[in-house]
Structure 1
Amino acid sequence: MSTIQPPRLLPIVFAALAAAGTASAADGPATQPFPPVEAATGDALTANVTLASQYVSRGFQQTWGRPALQGGFDYSHPSGFFAGTWMSTVSPKWIQDGFMEWDLYAGYGGTVGDVSYKAQLYYYLYPGAKLQPPFALKDTKYDYGEVLIGATWKWFTLNYWYTYTKDYFGYNSDTLFIGNDRHSRGSGYVDANFNYDFGGGYGLLLHYGREQVKNFSSFDFEDYKISLTKTFDKGWSASLNFTGMPKVNDYYKHKNTLSVSGDGSFSSPGDRQVYVTIGRTF
Protein backbone atom coordinates (compact mmCIF):
# COMPACT_ATOMS: atom_id res chain seq x y z
CA MET A 1 0.00 0.00 0.00
CA SER A 2 1.32 3.40 -0.84
CA THR A 3 1.11 6.69 0.91
CA ILE A 4 -2.06 7.18 -0.99
CA GLN A 5 -3.59 4.03 0.40
CA PRO A 6 -4.91 3.49 3.90
CA PRO A 7 -4.90 0.41 6.00
CA ARG A 8 -7.83 -1.73 5.29
CA LEU A 9 -9.49 -3.06 7.95
CA LEU A 10 -12.09 -5.05 7.99
CA PRO A 11 -14.59 -3.80 8.79
CA ILE A 12 -17.94 -3.59 11.90
CA VAL A 13 -16.71 -4.21 15.35
CA PHE A 14 -18.22 -7.37 16.62
CA ALA A 15 -20.94 -6.82 19.06
CA ALA A 16 -20.13 -9.49 21.58
CA LEU A 17 -17.93 -12.50 21.93
CA ALA A 18 -20.98 -14.52 22.80
CA ALA A 19 -21.73 -14.39 19.08
CA ALA A 20 -18.28 -15.82 18.53
CA GLY A 21 -19.44 -18.17 15.85
CA THR A 22 -19.32 -15.22 13.51
CA ALA A 23 -16.39 -13.09 12.61
CA SER A 24 -15.53 -9.54 12.94
CA ALA A 25 -12.62 -7.51 12.03
CA ALA A 26 -13.29 -4.11 13.06
CA ASP A 27 -15.79 -3.22 10.51
CA GLY A 28 -16.58 -5.87 8.16
CA PRO A 29 -16.15 -9.87 8.76
CA ALA A 30 -14.41 -9.82 9.49
CA THR A 31 -16.86 -7.31 10.34
CA GLN A 32 -20.25 -8.44 10.02
CA PRO A 33 -22.70 -5.80 11.07
CA PHE A 34 -25.28 -8.42 11.92
CA PRO A 35 -23.73 -11.63 13.24
CA PRO A 36 -25.85 -14.75 12.81
CA VAL A 37 -27.68 -16.08 15.84
CA GLU A 38 -26.19 -19.40 16.88
CA ALA A 39 -28.30 -22.39 17.68
CA ALA A 40 -28.32 -23.54 21.29
CA THR A 41 -27.67 -27.17 20.28
CA GLY A 42 -26.53 -28.87 17.11
CA ASP A 43 -24.68 -27.48 14.15
CA ALA A 44 -25.74 -24.08 12.82
CA LEU A 45 -25.35 -22.78 9.27
CA THR A 46 -26.49 -19.23 8.60
CA ALA A 47 -26.28 -16.67 5.83
CA ASN A 48 -26.38 -12.88 5.98
CA VAL A 49 -26.74 -9.99 3.54
CA THR A 50 -26.32 -6.26 4.20
CA LEU A 51 -26.74 -3.05 2.25
CA ALA A 52 -24.64 -0.17 3.63
CA SER A 53 -24.60 3.47 2.59
CA GLN A 54 -20.82 3.01 2.60
CA TYR A 55 -18.26 0.51 3.89
CA VAL A 56 -15.99 1.84 6.65
CA SER A 57 -13.35 -0.40 8.22
CA ARG A 58 -11.22 0.68 11.19
CA GLY A 59 -12.13 4.26 10.37
CA PHE A 60 -11.20 4.15 6.67
CA GLN A 61 -13.69 4.42 3.81
CA GLN A 62 -13.40 1.32 1.63
CA THR A 63 -15.95 2.39 -1.01
CA TRP A 64 -14.88 6.03 -1.58
CA GLY A 65 -18.13 7.17 0.07
CA ARG A 66 -20.36 4.99 -2.13
CA PRO A 67 -22.84 2.24 -1.07
CA ALA A 68 -21.68 -1.31 -0.43
CA LEU A 69 -23.30 -4.71 -0.82
CA GLN A 70 -22.09 -7.27 1.72
CA GLY A 71 -22.87 -10.85 2.64
CA GLY A 72 -21.53 -14.09 4.00
CA PHE A 73 -22.03 -17.59 5.40
CA ASP A 74 -21.22 -18.89 8.88
CA TYR A 75 -21.00 -22.35 10.39
CA SER A 76 -20.82 -23.09 14.11
CA HIS A 77 -20.45 -26.38 15.97
CA PRO A 78 -21.52 -27.12 19.57
CA SER A 79 -17.88 -27.89 20.41
CA GLY A 80 -17.03 -24.20 19.96
CA PHE A 81 -15.49 -24.45 16.49
CA PHE A 82 -16.72 -22.00 13.87
CA ALA A 83 -15.82 -20.95 10.34
CA GLY A 84 -17.16 -18.66 7.68
CA THR A 85 -16.68 -16.35 4.76
CA TRP A 86 -17.75 -12.76 4.14
CA MET A 87 -17.59 -10.46 1.12
CA SER A 88 -18.07 -6.77 0.44
CA THR A 89 -17.81 -4.51 -2.55
CA VAL A 90 -14.93 -2.00 -2.41
CA SER A 91 -13.86 0.88 -4.62
CA PRO A 92 -11.05 0.65 -7.21
CA LYS A 93 -10.34 4.29 -6.36
CA TRP A 94 -9.19 3.10 -2.94
CA ILE A 95 -7.89 -0.39 -3.75
CA GLN A 96 -6.27 -0.41 -7.19
CA ASP A 97 -8.15 -2.72 -9.61
CA GLY A 98 -10.15 -3.95 -6.61
CA PHE A 99 -13.91 -4.45 -6.59
CA MET A 100 -14.34 -7.00 -3.81
CA GLU A 101 -12.98 -7.88 -0.39
CA TRP A 102 -13.28 -11.58 0.45
CA ASP A 103 -12.64 -12.70 4.03
CA LEU A 104 -12.07 -16.28 5.16
CA TYR A 105 -11.98 -17.16 8.85
CA ALA A 106 -12.14 -19.99 11.36
CA GLY A 107 -11.67 -20.29 15.09
CA TYR A 108 -12.67 -21.64 18.46
CA GLY A 109 -14.60 -20.01 21.29
CA GLY A 110 -15.87 -20.89 24.74
CA THR A 111 -16.67 -19.59 28.21
CA VAL A 112 -15.05 -19.69 31.64
CA GLY A 113 -17.44 -18.42 34.27
CA ASP A 114 -18.64 -14.97 33.20
CA VAL A 115 -15.91 -14.59 30.59
CA SER A 116 -16.26 -15.59 26.93
CA TYR A 117 -13.14 -16.05 24.83
CA LYS A 118 -12.16 -16.89 21.28
CA ALA A 119 -9.16 -17.37 19.03
CA GLN A 120 -9.62 -16.82 15.33
CA LEU A 121 -7.61 -16.93 12.11
CA TYR A 122 -8.39 -14.52 9.25
CA TYR A 123 -7.24 -14.18 5.68
CA TYR A 124 -8.33 -11.19 3.57
CA LEU A 125 -8.36 -11.46 -0.22
CA TYR A 126 -8.76 -8.69 -2.81
CA PRO A 127 -9.15 -10.65 -6.07
CA GLY A 128 -7.36 -9.03 -9.01
CA ALA A 129 -6.19 -6.05 -6.95
CA LYS A 130 -2.57 -4.90 -6.94
CA LEU A 131 -0.90 -1.61 -6.10
CA GLN A 132 1.15 -0.82 -9.20
CA PRO A 133 3.64 1.84 -10.37
CA PRO A 134 3.63 4.82 -10.09
CA PHE A 135 1.82 4.22 -6.77
CA ALA A 136 4.42 1.59 -5.80
CA LEU A 137 7.93 0.62 -6.88
CA LYS A 138 6.60 -2.75 -8.05
CA ASP A 139 3.31 -4.64 -8.20
CA THR A 140 2.14 -5.54 -4.68
CA LYS A 141 -0.96 -7.45 -3.61
CA TYR A 142 -3.17 -6.21 -0.78
CA ASP A 143 -3.95 -9.73 0.54
CA TYR A 144 -2.93 -10.38 4.16
CA GLY A 145 -3.74 -12.41 7.26
CA GLU A 146 -4.38 -11.78 10.95
CA VAL A 147 -4.85 -13.90 14.04
CA LEU A 148 -7.27 -12.67 16.70
CA ILE A 149 -7.54 -13.37 20.41
CA GLY A 150 -10.35 -11.79 22.39
CA ALA A 151 -12.39 -11.93 25.56
CA THR A 152 -15.77 -10.57 26.68
CA TRP A 153 -17.00 -9.82 30.18
CA LYS A 154 -20.55 -8.50 30.52
CA TRP A 155 -20.71 -5.41 28.26
CA PHE A 156 -16.98 -5.19 27.53
CA THR A 157 -14.94 -6.88 24.80
CA LEU A 158 -11.19 -6.59 24.24
CA ASN A 159 -9.51 -7.97 21.11
CA TYR A 160 -6.00 -8.11 19.70
CA TRP A 161 -5.29 -8.68 16.00
CA TYR A 162 -1.78 -9.71 14.91
CA THR A 163 -0.55 -9.68 11.29
CA TYR A 164 1.11 -13.04 10.60
CA THR A 165 1.72 -12.55 6.86
CA LYS A 166 4.77 -10.80 5.41
CA ASP A 167 2.85 -7.54 4.96
CA TYR A 168 -0.20 -5.85 6.46
CA PHE A 169 -2.47 -4.79 3.57
CA GLY A 170 0.57 -4.48 1.31
CA TYR A 171 2.51 -2.12 3.59
CA ASN A 172 6.23 -2.38 2.79
CA SER A 173 9.14 -0.28 1.56
CA ASP A 174 8.04 -0.65 -2.07
CA THR A 175 4.57 0.77 -1.42
CA LEU A 176 5.25 3.31 1.32
CA PHE A 177 8.57 4.53 -0.15
CA ILE A 178 10.21 4.32 3.28
CA GLY A 179 13.48 2.48 3.97
CA ASN A 180 14.74 -0.54 2.08
CA ASP A 181 13.25 -4.05 2.12
CA ARG A 182 11.10 -3.37 5.18
CA HIS A 183 7.87 -5.30 5.74
CA SER A 184 5.00 -5.02 8.21
CA ARG A 185 4.65 -8.53 9.63
CA GLY A 186 3.97 -8.16 13.36
CA SER A 187 1.62 -5.18 13.04
CA GLY A 188 -1.06 -5.20 15.72
CA TYR A 189 -4.53 -3.78 16.24
CA VAL A 190 -6.16 -3.49 19.68
CA ASP A 191 -9.86 -2.76 19.86
CA ALA A 192 -12.02 -2.21 22.92
CA ASN A 193 -15.80 -2.36 22.69
CA PHE A 194 -18.71 -1.55 24.98
CA ASN A 195 -21.94 -3.19 23.85
CA TYR A 196 -25.18 -2.43 25.70
CA ASP A 197 -28.64 -3.88 25.11
CA PHE A 198 -31.41 -1.41 25.96
CA GLY A 199 -34.12 -4.01 25.40
CA GLY A 200 -36.81 -3.97 22.76
CA GLY A 201 -34.23 -4.75 20.08
CA TYR A 202 -32.24 -1.52 20.62
CA GLY A 203 -28.51 -1.56 21.26
CA LEU A 204 -25.49 0.73 21.60
CA LEU A 205 -21.93 -0.04 20.55
CA LEU A 206 -18.94 2.13 21.53
CA HIS A 207 -15.62 1.20 19.93
CA TYR A 208 -12.03 2.41 20.15
CA GLY A 209 -9.16 0.89 18.17
CA ARG A 210 -5.42 1.47 17.77
CA GLU A 211 -3.23 0.08 14.99
CA GLN A 212 0.56 -0.06 15.22
CA VAL A 213 2.13 -0.72 11.82
CA LYS A 214 5.39 -2.61 12.27
CA ASN A 215 8.41 -0.66 10.89
CA PHE A 216 6.20 2.20 9.67
CA SER A 217 5.08 4.11 12.76
CA SER A 218 4.08 7.20 10.74
CA PHE A 219 1.16 5.09 9.50
CA ASP A 220 -0.08 4.12 12.98
CA PHE A 221 -3.66 5.20 13.56
CA GLU A 222 -6.53 5.29 16.04
CA ASP A 223 -10.25 5.05 15.31
CA TYR A 224 -13.55 5.21 17.15
CA LYS A 225 -17.10 4.24 16.33
CA ILE A 226 -20.53 4.85 17.84
CA SER A 227 -23.35 2.62 16.61
CA LEU A 228 -27.04 2.56 17.39
CA THR A 229 -28.64 -0.72 16.34
CA LYS A 230 -32.16 -2.11 16.06
CA THR A 231 -33.18 -5.71 15.47
CA PHE A 232 -36.53 -6.70 13.99
CA ASP A 233 -38.49 -9.88 13.43
CA LYS A 234 -37.38 -12.47 10.87
CA GLY A 235 -33.68 -11.67 11.21
CA TRP A 236 -33.77 -8.04 10.03
CA SER A 237 -31.40 -5.45 11.56
CA ALA A 238 -30.52 -1.80 10.98
CA SER A 239 -27.81 0.50 12.31
CA LEU A 240 -26.78 4.14 12.38
CA ASN A 241 -23.00 4.61 12.68
CA PHE A 242 -20.62 7.49 13.35
CA THR A 243 -16.87 6.97 12.92
CA GLY A 244 -13.74 9.07 13.27
CA MET A 245 -9.95 8.88 13.51
CA PRO A 246 -8.32 10.97 16.27
CA LYS A 247 -4.91 9.89 14.96
CA VAL A 248 -4.11 9.23 11.30
CA ASN A 249 -1.55 10.29 8.71
CA ASP A 250 -2.59 13.67 7.25
CA TYR A 251 -2.52 12.12 3.79
CA TYR A 252 -5.88 10.48 4.56
CA LYS A 253 -7.62 13.72 5.54
CA HIS A 254 -8.46 17.14 4.09
CA LYS A 255 -8.98 15.82 0.52
CA ASN A 256 -5.32 14.78 0.29
CA THR A 257 -5.88 11.18 -0.83
CA LEU A 258 -5.49 10.66 -4.58
CA SER A 259 -7.54 7.93 -6.28
CA VAL A 260 -5.40 4.98 -7.43
CA SER A 261 -7.75 4.39 -10.38
CA GLY A 262 -6.04 7.17 -12.33
CA ASP A 263 -9.13 9.37 -12.65
CA GLY A 264 -7.46 12.26 -10.80
CA SER A 265 -10.08 12.47 -8.02
CA PHE A 266 -9.28 13.13 -4.35
CA SER A 267 -11.04 12.12 -1.14
CA SER A 268 -10.68 12.11 2.66
CA PRO A 269 -11.02 8.43 3.67
CA GLY A 270 -9.85 9.12 7.22
CA ASP A 271 -12.31 11.92 8.01
CA ARG A 272 -15.39 11.51 10.23
CA GLN A 273 -18.15 9.50 8.58
CA VAL A 274 -21.85 8.79 9.12
CA TYR A 275 -23.44 5.78 7.47
CA VAL A 276 -26.41 3.45 7.82
CA THR A 277 -26.88 -0.27 7.23
CA ILE A 278 -29.81 -2.62 6.82
CA GLY A 279 -29.36 -6.37 6.76
CA ARG A 280 -30.88 -9.76 7.29
CA THR A 281 -29.64 -13.06 8.71
CA PHE A 282 -31.20 -16.30 7.45
Structure 2
Amino acid sequence: MMFPTRRTLPAVISAALLASLFAAAPARAEDTPTWTFPTSVSLVSDYIFRGQSQSWGKPALQFSTEADHASGAYAGFAASTVSKHWLPGATMETDFSGGYRNKIADTVGYDVGVVYYAYPGGNWKKSAFEGYNDPNSLNTAEAYLALSYQWLTFKTGRTLTEYFGWSTNNSPVGGGFAGDSTAGVTGSTRGSTFYELNAAYDVAEGWNVSGQIGRQKIKNATGLDITYYKLGVTKALPAGFSVGVFYSGSSEPDAYKNFISLKNASTDSDIARKTVFVSVAKAF
Protein backbone atom coordinates (compact mmCIF):
# COMPACT_ATOMS: atom_id res chain seq x y z
CA MET A 1 0.00 0.00 0.00
CA MET A 2 3.55 8.32 -2.06
CA PHE A 3 4.76 11.67 -0.99
CA PRO A 4 8.58 11.77 -1.22
CA THR A 5 10.31 15.03 -0.37
CA ARG A 6 13.67 13.94 -1.80
CA ARG A 7 14.88 11.63 -4.56
CA THR A 8 14.87 8.24 -2.90
CA LEU A 9 15.80 4.88 -4.48
CA PRO A 10 12.19 4.17 -5.53
CA ALA A 11 11.83 7.64 -7.01
CA VAL A 12 14.95 7.11 -9.10
CA ILE A 13 13.67 3.69 -10.24
CA SER A 14 10.33 5.18 -11.28
CA ALA A 15 11.96 8.10 -13.09
CA ALA A 16 14.30 5.82 -15.01
CA LEU A 17 11.49 3.52 -16.03
CA LEU A 18 9.35 6.41 -17.24
CA ALA A 19 12.18 8.01 -19.20
CA SER A 20 13.12 4.83 -21.04
CA LEU A 21 9.54 3.85 -21.76
CA PHE A 22 8.59 7.29 -23.13
CA ALA A 23 11.47 7.05 -25.61
CA ALA A 24 10.39 3.60 -26.83
CA ALA A 25 6.61 3.91 -26.78
CA PRO A 26 4.59 4.90 -29.87
CA ALA A 27 2.44 8.01 -29.76
CA ARG A 28 -1.28 7.64 -29.06
CA ALA A 29 -4.20 9.38 -30.76
CA GLU A 30 -4.29 13.13 -30.27
CA ASP A 31 -7.59 13.02 -28.39
CA THR A 32 -6.16 10.70 -25.73
CA PRO A 33 -5.07 12.61 -22.58
CA THR A 34 -1.31 12.53 -22.22
CA TRP A 35 -1.53 12.10 -18.45
CA THR A 36 -4.19 10.88 -16.02
CA PHE A 37 -3.88 10.85 -12.23
CA PRO A 38 -6.25 8.33 -10.59
CA THR A 39 -6.29 8.94 -6.83
CA SER A 40 -8.21 7.44 -3.94
CA VAL A 41 -8.52 7.62 -0.17
CA SER A 42 -9.97 4.74 1.79
CA LEU A 43 -10.64 3.46 5.29
CA VAL A 44 -10.49 -0.30 5.87
CA SER A 45 -11.41 -2.17 9.04
CA ASP A 46 -8.28 -4.32 8.62
CA TYR A 47 -5.29 -4.02 6.26
CA ILE A 48 -4.74 -7.50 4.82
CA PHE A 49 -1.67 -8.11 2.64
CA ARG A 50 -1.34 -11.59 1.14
CA GLY A 51 -3.44 -13.09 3.90
CA GLN A 52 -1.68 -11.35 6.79
CA SER A 53 -2.91 -8.39 8.83
CA GLN A 54 -0.51 -5.46 8.65
CA SER A 55 -2.58 -3.45 11.15
CA TRP A 56 -2.86 -6.06 13.95
CA GLY A 57 -6.56 -6.50 13.16
CA LYS A 58 -7.28 -2.78 13.55
CA PRO A 59 -8.57 -0.19 11.02
CA ALA A 60 -6.18 1.46 8.59
CA LEU A 61 -6.32 4.71 6.62
CA GLN A 62 -4.99 4.41 3.08
CA PHE A 63 -4.13 6.67 0.16
CA SER A 64 -3.01 5.94 -3.40
CA THR A 65 -2.26 7.97 -6.49
CA GLU A 66 -0.74 7.22 -9.87
CA ALA A 67 0.62 9.21 -12.79
CA ASP A 68 -0.39 7.33 -15.95
CA HIS A 69 1.09 8.31 -19.31
CA ALA A 70 -0.75 7.62 -22.55
CA SER A 71 2.18 5.43 -23.65
CA GLY A 72 1.41 2.93 -20.87
CA ALA A 73 4.19 4.02 -18.52
CA TYR A 74 3.23 4.87 -14.96
CA ALA A 75 4.59 5.84 -11.55
CA GLY A 76 2.63 5.43 -8.35
CA PHE A 77 2.61 6.15 -4.66
CA ALA A 78 0.51 4.56 -1.93
CA ALA A 79 0.48 4.79 1.85
CA SER A 80 -1.23 2.99 4.70
CA THR A 81 -1.12 3.03 8.45
CA VAL A 82 0.35 -0.18 9.90
CA SER A 83 1.10 -1.63 13.35
CA LYS A 84 4.36 -1.78 15.31
CA HIS A 85 3.12 -5.09 16.75
CA TRP A 86 3.81 -6.76 13.37
CA LEU A 87 6.30 -4.33 11.78
CA PRO A 88 8.80 -3.20 14.45
CA GLY A 89 9.07 0.57 14.77
CA ALA A 90 6.72 1.28 11.86
CA THR A 91 3.39 3.09 11.92
CA MET A 92 3.28 3.86 8.18
CA GLU A 93 3.90 1.94 4.98
CA THR A 94 4.77 3.93 1.85
CA ASP A 95 4.90 2.21 -1.53
CA PHE A 96 6.68 3.61 -4.57
CA SER A 97 6.08 1.92 -7.91
CA GLY A 98 6.93 2.34 -11.56
CA GLY A 99 6.30 0.29 -14.65
CA TYR A 100 4.63 -0.17 -17.98
CA ARG A 101 1.25 -1.65 -18.86
CA ASN A 102 -0.39 -2.14 -22.24
CA LYS A 103 -2.49 -4.53 -24.33
CA ILE A 104 -1.41 -7.33 -26.64
CA ALA A 105 -4.98 -7.62 -27.95
CA ASP A 106 -8.37 -6.15 -27.03
CA THR A 107 -8.84 -8.65 -24.18
CA VAL A 108 -5.21 -9.44 -23.32
CA GLY A 109 -2.92 -7.12 -21.38
CA TYR A 110 0.30 -7.06 -19.42
CA ASP A 111 1.92 -5.03 -16.64
CA VAL A 112 5.59 -5.13 -15.65
CA GLY A 113 7.23 -3.04 -12.96
CA VAL A 114 8.94 -2.62 -9.61
CA VAL A 115 7.48 -1.66 -6.23
CA TYR A 116 9.47 -0.47 -3.21
CA TYR A 117 7.80 -0.92 0.18
CA ALA A 118 9.26 1.57 2.66
CA TYR A 119 8.57 1.88 6.39
CA PRO A 120 9.70 5.21 7.87
CA GLY A 121 11.16 4.56 11.32
CA GLY A 122 10.81 0.82 10.94
CA ASN A 123 13.79 -1.39 11.77
CA TRP A 124 14.29 -4.80 13.36
CA LYS A 125 16.52 -3.19 15.98
CA LYS A 126 13.27 -1.88 17.50
CA SER A 127 11.94 -5.38 18.11
CA ALA A 128 11.03 -5.97 21.75
CA PHE A 129 12.86 -9.31 21.76
CA GLU A 130 16.44 -8.92 23.00
CA GLY A 131 18.89 -11.03 21.05
CA TYR A 132 16.60 -11.04 18.02
CA ASN A 133 16.89 -7.37 17.17
CA ASP A 134 20.04 -6.80 15.17
CA PRO A 135 19.62 -3.67 12.98
CA ASN A 136 17.95 -4.57 9.68
CA SER A 137 15.68 -2.51 7.45
CA LEU A 138 12.11 -3.58 6.73
CA ASN A 139 12.22 -1.87 3.31
CA THR A 140 11.67 -4.27 0.43
CA ALA A 141 11.97 -4.01 -3.36
CA GLU A 142 9.94 -6.37 -5.53
CA ALA A 143 9.74 -6.84 -9.30
CA TYR A 144 6.43 -8.03 -10.71
CA LEU A 145 4.75 -9.18 -13.91
CA ALA A 146 1.00 -9.43 -14.53
CA LEU A 147 -0.92 -10.90 -17.46
CA SER A 148 -4.64 -10.26 -17.85
CA TYR A 149 -7.41 -11.75 -19.93
CA GLN A 150 -10.76 -10.00 -19.77
CA TRP A 151 -11.61 -9.98 -16.03
CA LEU A 152 -8.85 -12.39 -14.92
CA THR A 153 -5.30 -11.40 -13.96
CA PHE A 154 -2.34 -13.60 -13.10
CA LYS A 155 0.44 -11.85 -11.19
CA THR A 156 3.83 -12.98 -9.96
CA GLY A 157 6.76 -11.24 -8.30
CA ARG A 158 10.18 -11.72 -6.75
CA THR A 159 11.90 -9.71 -4.03
CA LEU A 160 15.13 -7.97 -5.02
CA THR A 161 16.02 -7.53 -1.35
CA GLU A 162 15.41 -9.53 1.80
CA TYR A 163 11.73 -10.24 2.44
CA PHE A 164 10.76 -7.31 4.72
CA GLY A 165 14.05 -7.70 6.55
CA TRP A 166 13.39 -11.26 7.73
CA SER A 167 16.69 -12.91 8.62
CA THR A 168 18.24 -15.71 10.67
CA ASN A 169 18.57 -13.20 13.52
CA ASN A 170 15.05 -11.83 13.87
CA SER A 171 13.06 -14.80 12.48
CA PRO A 172 15.15 -17.92 13.19
CA VAL A 173 14.14 -21.54 13.56
CA GLY A 174 13.67 -22.31 17.23
CA GLY A 175 12.95 -18.79 18.42
CA GLY A 176 11.26 -16.58 15.88
CA PHE A 177 7.72 -17.96 15.89
CA ALA A 178 5.94 -18.99 19.07
CA GLY A 179 3.24 -20.88 17.18
CA ASP A 180 5.75 -23.28 15.61
CA SER A 181 9.25 -23.58 17.02
CA THR A 182 10.36 -25.57 13.97
CA ALA A 183 9.47 -22.73 11.59
CA GLY A 184 11.85 -19.95 10.65
CA VAL A 185 14.42 -18.47 8.31
CA THR A 186 17.47 -20.57 7.44
CA GLY A 187 19.31 -18.21 5.06
CA SER A 188 18.88 -15.08 2.93
CA THR A 189 15.22 -14.35 2.12
CA ARG A 190 16.16 -12.36 -0.98
CA GLY A 191 14.43 -13.92 -3.98
CA SER A 192 11.16 -14.76 -2.19
CA THR A 193 8.33 -15.16 -4.69
CA PHE A 194 4.55 -14.93 -4.91
CA TYR A 195 1.95 -16.08 -7.42
CA GLU A 196 -1.68 -15.05 -7.46
CA LEU A 197 -4.80 -15.14 -9.60
CA ASN A 198 -7.20 -12.21 -9.33
CA ALA A 199 -10.69 -11.80 -10.72
CA ALA A 200 -12.95 -8.74 -10.87
CA TYR A 201 -16.31 -8.94 -12.63
CA ASP A 202 -19.11 -6.39 -12.94
CA VAL A 203 -22.29 -8.35 -12.23
CA ALA A 204 -24.61 -5.34 -12.55
CA GLU A 205 -24.32 -1.59 -12.92
CA GLY A 206 -22.32 -0.33 -9.93
CA TRP A 207 -21.75 -3.84 -8.51
CA ASN A 208 -18.44 -5.69 -8.73
CA VAL A 209 -17.54 -9.15 -7.43
CA SER A 210 -13.86 -9.93 -6.89
CA GLY A 211 -11.74 -12.86 -5.85
CA GLN A 212 -8.10 -13.70 -5.22
CA ILE A 213 -6.04 -16.79 -4.50
CA GLY A 214 -2.28 -16.73 -4.13
CA ARG A 215 0.82 -18.33 -2.70
CA GLN A 216 3.71 -16.56 -0.96
CA LYS A 217 6.96 -18.53 -0.76
CA ILE A 218 9.73 -17.35 1.57
CA LYS A 219 13.23 -18.13 0.24
CA ASN A 220 15.42 -20.21 2.60
CA ALA A 221 12.73 -20.72 5.20
CA THR A 222 10.64 -23.52 6.63
CA GLY A 223 7.03 -23.45 7.82
CA LEU A 224 6.45 -19.86 6.64
CA ASP A 225 4.99 -20.24 3.13
CA ILE A 226 1.35 -19.23 3.01
CA THR A 227 -1.61 -19.73 0.66
CA TYR A 228 -4.08 -16.84 0.83
CA TYR A 229 -7.46 -16.02 -0.65
CA LYS A 230 -10.06 -13.26 -0.65
CA LEU A 231 -13.63 -12.80 -1.86
CA GLY A 232 -15.48 -9.49 -1.99
CA VAL A 233 -18.36 -7.40 -3.24
CA THR A 234 -18.02 -3.68 -3.99
CA LYS A 235 -20.82 -1.20 -4.58
CA ALA A 236 -20.15 2.08 -6.41
CA LEU A 237 -21.92 5.09 -4.94
CA PRO A 238 -22.44 8.64 -6.20
CA ALA A 239 -19.64 11.24 -6.14
CA GLY A 240 -16.88 8.66 -6.51
CA PHE A 241 -17.57 6.83 -3.25
CA SER A 242 -17.69 3.05 -2.92
CA VAL A 243 -18.16 0.49 -0.16
CA GLY A 244 -16.90 -3.06 -0.06
CA VAL A 245 -17.24 -6.17 2.07
CA PHE A 246 -14.54 -8.84 1.88
CA TYR A 247 -13.79 -12.25 3.33
CA SER A 248 -10.09 -13.00 3.70
CA GLY A 249 -8.44 -16.24 4.72
CA SER A 250 -5.29 -18.31 4.40
CA SER A 251 -3.77 -21.71 5.02
CA GLU A 252 -2.74 -20.08 8.35
CA PRO A 253 0.55 -21.85 9.08
CA ASP A 254 1.07 -22.49 12.78
CA ALA A 255 3.96 -20.00 12.73
CA TYR A 256 1.47 -17.14 12.34
CA LYS A 257 -0.88 -18.28 15.09
CA ASN A 258 -0.58 -16.53 18.45
CA PHE A 259 2.12 -14.32 16.97
CA ILE A 260 3.70 -12.40 19.85
CA SER A 261 3.86 -8.62 19.48
CA LEU A 262 7.17 -7.19 18.31
CA LYS A 263 6.23 -3.98 20.11
CA ASN A 264 5.73 -5.25 23.67
CA ALA A 265 6.58 -9.00 23.57
CA SER A 266 3.42 -9.79 25.51
CA THR A 267 0.18 -9.46 23.50
CA ASP A 268 -0.47 -11.82 20.60
CA SER A 269 -2.62 -12.11 17.49
CA ASP A 270 -3.43 -14.68 14.81
CA ILE A 271 -1.87 -12.70 11.99
CA ALA A 272 -3.24 -14.84 9.14
CA ARG A 273 -6.67 -15.70 10.55
CA LYS A 274 -9.86 -15.86 8.54
CA THR A 275 -11.71 -12.56 8.82
CA VAL A 276 -14.32 -10.28 7.31
CA PHE A 277 -13.35 -6.66 6.68
CA VAL A 278 -15.03 -3.66 5.10
CA SER A 279 -13.79 -0.67 3.15
CA VAL A 280 -15.09 2.81 2.36
CA ALA A 281 -13.30 4.58 -0.48
CA LYS A 282 -13.42 7.89 -2.34
CA ALA A 283 -11.97 8.14 -5.85
CA PHE A 284 -10.83 11.45 -7.38
TM-score by length of 1: 0.81
User: Within 2, Cα distance between the matches of 1:42 and 1:258?
Assistant: 49
Change (3 A) 1:261 1:135: farther
TM-score by length of 2: 0.80
What per-residue deviation string (whole Å, max 9, x for no partner) do you get for residues 135-179 of structure 1? 6251222111101101110121100011111x0111221222249
Shift of 1:41: 2.8
Q: Which has the larger radius of gyration?
A: 2
Matched, 1:175 2:170: yes
2:134 paired residue number: 138
Change (3 A) 1:40 1:206: farther
User: Which of residues 42, 46, 61 is equivalent to 2:38?
Assistant: 46
Aligned alpha-carbon RMSD (Å): 1.8
User: Within 2, Cα distance between the matches of 1:101 and 1:202?
Assistant: 30
Matched, 1:194 2:199: yes
1:267 paired residue number: 269
Shift of 1:93: 1.2
Counterpart mapping for 1:85-100 below 5 A: 85-100=77-92
User: Within 2, Cα distance between the matches of 1:80 and 1:175?
Assistant: 40
User: Within 1, Cα distance between the matches of 2:133 and 2:123?
Assistant: 12
1:235 paired residue number: 240
Shift of 1:198: 0.8
User: Counterpart of 2:170 in structure 1: which amino acid?
Assistant: T
SS of 1:219's partner is: coil
1:75 paired residue number: 67
Q: Percent identity?
A: 30
Matched, 1:148 2:144: yes
User: Within 2, Cα distance between the matches of 1:40 and 1:89?
Assistant: 35
What per-residue deviation string (whole Å, max 9, x for no partner) do you get for residues 53-102 of structure 1? 11111111111111111102211000000111000000111111110000
List alignment gaps of at least 5 residues for structure 1: 1-9, 11-38
1:184 paired residue number: 189
2:214 paired residue number: 209
List alignment gaps of at least 5 residues for structure 2: 2-30, 174-183
2:22 paired residue number: none
Counterpart mapping for 1:217-228 below 5 A: 217-228=222-233
Change (3 A) 1:137 1:65: closer
User: Counterpart of 1:228 in structure 2: which amino acid?
Assistant: V
Shift of 1:120: 1.3
